[in-house]
């Protein structure tokens, strides 16, 4: 098959078509001052495309290429469907095990057999996909086209997930599957991890999407007190008289309305509250809770209530890290505490950081899965982010050592102290570039980011990392 830009006519048709799609969007947007201009341009582009098709010579080349392209896309969609079906089977297998765990028992033989069957079926799907792709790929160019088409489908899926609040990486799927049974029973959950790794996003996703309830959200920063969290008496005027009424805080509201409550950055909450939290964490739906703040009047905790706490391992204010939390408190979460690692954790320096790259791509992709940055740029910025995350998280394995400054090893804290290209930062930077309409280059946005880093040594290490990926040259 002809690669799509192998023939000048094809290259032109692709370019005209691309421009036409973009122009059409501007022409349709009633609030663009350039809509009329775009409408004229749209007509001209459409006429050019029609002329290319109408000419017998170029028309034939185009028709053949389009037919081949359609076949290729069909193959990509088919391969993607197989991928989804395979994933579904693996999830079903995992659910059998989770259900047994939820019932506090080991698997019966019939279940073990079922799991084996589901996994074998999933493996067969994998073989089918490989066969399908092998059959379709006759040249290197077809392979690249097919992979690009599959890539766009994957980015589209990731974009949909991200719009619902969370990219469902393997790690996130695992935590969700494991945590959900306990959460449904009203047991508390703790998410521990480095800054910007989507702990809060995961807690919100668990509440909204998995439990189906809007959570109460309480942030640990700011000097929040027990009475703000639980409730307090306020003075109100009632028919000319001033009366004192009890107003429930978010924690109490979640209890009585049967909703999840997210205690965000619980490690930063005041010690006085954390002491009380020890006891509150033992409460389950159906239990009674005597509200000290309201003269000890007891309420009943409704089903649907659950505490989801997040804690920061290394914050920009490290002294407020998790060491503030007592072992006793962490123990209360029992088996329900999870470490949220940065994406691609465990990969080596030389691997392609696929999850970081997918996150970056999905955050700027359009509905068709097209991404306004080149694959090369995406991969380089994703790798820079990945390296900074590993160094920040204290992974100084092979390859990462290059970025760990030896002077700082003297005080025992090599690497990055305060700043990191966390997933959240990566998303913000590529969105800034994509949203600038070509005004801000990726290199420029990264330069700004580094300039804004307060900590001088961090600034140096980040610049070193970015330079290793071809940014900040000159």
Q: x/- site string to ligand ATP, residues 293 to 312, per CB under 6 A?
A: -----------------x-x
Q: Does 419 bind Mg ion (CB under 5 A)?
A: no
CA distance 205 to 158: 15
Q: Pick between residue 176 and residue 378 the one whose CB is nearest to Mg ion.
A: 176
CA distance 122 to 108: 21
Q: Within 10 A of 452 (CB to CB), how many other CB atoms are there?
A: 9
Helix axes 56-102, 8-28, angle to 10 degrees: 70
| Sequential DSSP letters for 154-177 | HHHHHHHHHHTT----HHHHHHHH
DSSP 209: I
CA distance 88 to 158: 16
Instruction: Single out the residue of 359, 429, 434, 453 in contact with ligand ATP (rule: CB under 6 A).
Output: 359
| Binding to ligand ATP, residues 365-394 (CB under 6 A) | none
Q: Does 42 bind ligand ATP (CB under 6 A)?
A: no
Which of ligand ATP, Mg ion, none does residue 169 bind to, with CB < 5 to 8 Å depending on kind? ligand ATP
Instruction: Single out the residue of 343, 369, 414, 415 in contact with ligand ATP (rule: CB under 6 A).
Output: 343
Q: Pick between residue 58 and residue 200 the one whose CB is nearest to Mg ion.
A: 200
Q: x/- site string to ligand ATP, residues 421 to 450, per CB under 6 A?
A: --xx--x-----------------------
Q: Pick between residue 195 and residue 336 the one whose CB is nearest to ligand ATP.
A: 195
Question: How far from chain centre, in Å, is Cα 404?
Answer: 27
Of 52, 74, 340, nearest to 200 (Cα)?
340
By rule CB under 6 A, what count of residues binds ligand ATP?
A: 21
Q: Does 188 bind ligand ATP (CB under 6 A)?
A: no
Q: x/- site string to ligand ATP, residues 114 to 153, per CB under 6 A?
A: ----------------------------------------
Q: Taking the complex as a whole, how short is the minimal distance between the CB of residue 162 and ligand ATP, in angstroms? A: 6
CA distance 4 to 61: 11
Q: Pick between residue 230 and residue 307 the one whose CB is nearest to ligand ATP.
A: 307
**Any idea of the CA torsion for 81, 6, 61, 44, to the nearest 10 degrees?**
90
CA distance 343 to 314: 16
Q: Which residue is nearest to Mg ion (CB)?
A: 200
Q: Pick between residue 86 and residue 200 the one whose CB is nearest to ligand ATP.
A: 200
- Four-residue CA torsion sign, 17, 19, 20, 25: positive
Which of ligand ATP, Mg ion, none does residue 195 bind to, with CB < 5 to 8 Å depending on kind? ligand ATP
Instruction: Single out the residue of 167, 179, 266, 277 in contact with ligand ATP (rule: CB under 6 A).
Output: 167
Q: Does 207 bind ligand ATP (CB under 6 A)?
A: no
Q: Residue 343, exposed/middle/buried by CB under 10 A (0-12, 13-18, 19+)?
A: buried
Which of Mg ion, ligand ATP, none does residue 249 bind to, with CB < 5 to 8 Å depending on kind? none
Q: Pick between residue 152 and residue 263 the one whose CB is nearest to Mg ion.
A: 263
| Binding to Mg ion, residues 189-248 (CB under 5 A) | 200
Q: Cα–Cα distances in Å, from 70 out to 140, 342, 345?
A: 18, 38, 37
According to DSSP, the residues that pair with 339 across neighbouring strands are 192
Triad 184, 187, 188: Cα angle to 5°:
120
Which of Mg ion, ligand ATP, none does residue 53 bind to, with CB < 5 to 8 Å depending on kind? none
Q: Pick between residue 79 and residue 322 the one whose CB is nearest to ligand ATP.
A: 322
Structural contact between residues 178 and 378, judged by C-beta atoms closer than 8 angstroms: no
Question: Which residues of the chain form contacts with Mg ion (CB under 5 A)?
Answer: 200
The residues binding ligand ATP (CB under 6 A) are 162, 166-167, 169, 172, 193, 195-201, 310, 312, 343, 359, 363, 423-424, 427
């Amino acid at each position: 098959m002809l690669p799509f830009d192998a023939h000048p006519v094809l290259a032109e048709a692709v370019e005209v078509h691309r421009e036409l799609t973009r122009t059409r969007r501007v022409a349709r947007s009633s609030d663009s001052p350039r809509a009329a201009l775009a409408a004229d341009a749209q007509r001209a582009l459409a006429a050019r495309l029609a002329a290319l098709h109408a000419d017998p010579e170029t028309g034939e080349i185009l028709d053949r290429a389009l037919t081949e392209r359609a076949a290729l896309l069909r193959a990509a969609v088919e391969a993607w469907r197989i991928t989804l079906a395979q994933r579904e089977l693996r999830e079903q297998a995992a659910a059998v095990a989770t259900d047994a765990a939820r019932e506090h028992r080991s698997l019966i033989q019939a279940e073990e057999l079922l799991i084996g069957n589901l996994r074998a079926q999933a493996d067969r799907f994998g073989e089918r996909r490989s066969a399908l792709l092998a059959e379709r790929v006759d040249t290197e160019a077809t392979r690249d086209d097919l992979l690009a088409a599959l890539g766009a489908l994957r980015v589209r899926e990731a974009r949909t997930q991200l719009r619902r609040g969370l990219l469902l990486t393997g790690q996130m799927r695992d935590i969700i599957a494991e945590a959900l049974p306990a959460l449904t029973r009203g047991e508390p959950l703790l998410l521990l991890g480095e800054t910007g790794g989507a702990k809060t996003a995961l807690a919100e996703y668990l509440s909204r999407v998995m439990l189906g309830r809007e959570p109460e959200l309480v942030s640990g920063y700011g000097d929040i007190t027990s009475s703000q969290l639980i409730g307090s008496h306020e003075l109100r005027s009632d028919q000319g008289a001033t009366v004192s009424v009890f107003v429930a805080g978010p924690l109490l509201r979640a209890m009585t309305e049967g909703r999840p409550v997210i205690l965000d950055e619980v490690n930063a909450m005041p010690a006085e509250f954390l002491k009380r939290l020890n006891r509150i964490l033992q409460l389950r739906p159906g239990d009674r809770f005597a509200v000290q703040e309201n003269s000890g009047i007891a309420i009943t905790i409704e089903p649907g209530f659950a505490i989801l706490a997040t804690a920061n391992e290394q914050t920009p204010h490290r002294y407020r890290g998790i060491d503030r939390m007592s072992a006793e408190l962490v123990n209360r979460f029992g088996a329900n505490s999870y470490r949220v690692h940065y994406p691609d954790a465990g990969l080596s320096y030389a691997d392609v950081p696929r999850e970081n790259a997918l996150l970056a791509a999905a955050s700027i992709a359009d509905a068709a899965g097209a991404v306004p940055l080149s694959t090369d740029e995406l991969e380089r910025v994703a790798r820079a982010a990945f390296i900074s995350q590993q160094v920040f998280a204290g992974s100084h394995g092979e390859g990462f050592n290059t970025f760990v400054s030896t002077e700082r090893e003297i005080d025992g804290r090599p690497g990055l102290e305060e700043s990191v290209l966390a997933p959240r930062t990566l998303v913000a930077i590529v969105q800034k570039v994509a949203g600038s309409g070509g005004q801000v280059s990726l290199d420029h946005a990264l330069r700004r980011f580094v300039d804004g880093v307060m900590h001088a040594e961090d600034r140096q290490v980040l610049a070193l990392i970015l330079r290793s990926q071809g940014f900040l040259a000159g």
